[in-house]
Every structure is written in C-alpha cells, then in structure tokens.
Amino acid sequence: MIQRFQSLWLLLAAIFAFFTFKLPFYSGSRVIKAIRQPDVRLDAASQILILVLTGIVILLCFIAIFLYKNRKRQLTFTVINCILSIILIVLYFLEIQKFDTGIISLSCLFTLAIPIFLFLAARGIWRDEKLIKSLDRLR
C-alpha cells in the first residue's frame, strides 16, 4: 500500500488539501452589503462549495490509497479526484473575482500542487496496470 509511489503521491495530495483549510489562497479586501471588509482571507473554509469539494478531494485520496488491490478502480477514483481538484482551482479563481484588491498568497501553491500529485499518482497506477498485463502475457 504505502510502498508504492502512487500511494505516496495520493497521501501528499491529501495532506496538501488538508493544509488549504487553514492557509489562505488569496488575501485582500472586498465590499459586502456596502461595508468594506479589509483583510479577508480566502481559504477552503471560507466558502461552502469550496469546503465541500476540498473534503471530497481528501476523502477520495484516502479511498484511492486503500484500493491498492483493485488498480482499475483506484485509477478511476484518482482521475475523478484530479478533475475535482481542477474544478476546485477554478472555484478559487472565481472567488478571487469578488475581491476589490488583494494578492495571491504563497500558500496557494498547495492548492495548485494537488492536481499535479494526483496526475503523478494516476500515471503510476497506469504503469503498474500495464506492467501486470505484460507479466500476465508472459505466463
């Protein structure tokens, strides 16, 4: 389970997704109901859709880690999770549009690294599946 590289990539993706709950993606000011709010942080817990999607990404990472015996299903979960993490990034950038002024935080790299880790995990799972198929042909 953990001895495979794709399990490490999935674990790193889950850890980075967990970090997004406390570390900001964007910091700035915005106006809500004619009241200017300075120093507003955009993180995973600041908007309900982003919160739910981040939780689903973490859950799917852990589910995929424990599906190491069924590589086809593990690959399916990882690809779906990669698509969800890209949607999550799009949602973050749509939320940035609601800010008046601000700056992207350095910790946004955690959010941007999640689909990269999931892609590396999917590539490793696919290579394992290809290797098993080639070994089965030799028998």
Decide if pLDDT at 50 tops 80: yes
Cβ count near 133 (within 10 Å): 9
Decide if pLDDT at 36 tops 80: no
Nearby residues of 36 by Cβ (< 8 Å), 6 or more positions away? 29, 30, 100
Give the CB-side neighbour count of residue 127, counting CA atoms within 13 A. Answer: 9
Decide if pLDDT at 71 tops 90: no
Whole-prediction pTM value? 0.87
Q: What is the per-residue pLDDT for 3?
A: 57
DSSP-assigned letter for residue 40:
E
Confidence category of residue 8, pLDDT binned at 50, 70, 90: very high
Decide if pLDDT at 57 tops 50: yes
Rounded Cα gap, residues 119 and 97, in angstroms: 28
The overall average pLDDT reported for the chain is 88
Nearby residues of 59 by Cβ (< 8 Å), 6 or more positions away? none
The domain in which residue 58 lies consists of 5-138
CB distance 86 to 78 below 8 Å: no
Q: Residue for token digits 């589910």?
A: 63
Q: What is the mean pLDDT of residues 83-101?
A: 92
DSSP-assigned letter for residue 53:
H
Decide if pLDDT at 138 tops 80: no
Confidence category of residue 1, pLDDT binned at 50, 70, 90: very low
* φ/ψ of residue 29, rounded to 5: -125, 150
Count of structural domains within the chain: 1
Rounded Cα gap, residues 80 and 74, in angstroms: 10
Instruction: Tell me the CATH number at 125.
Output: 1.20.140
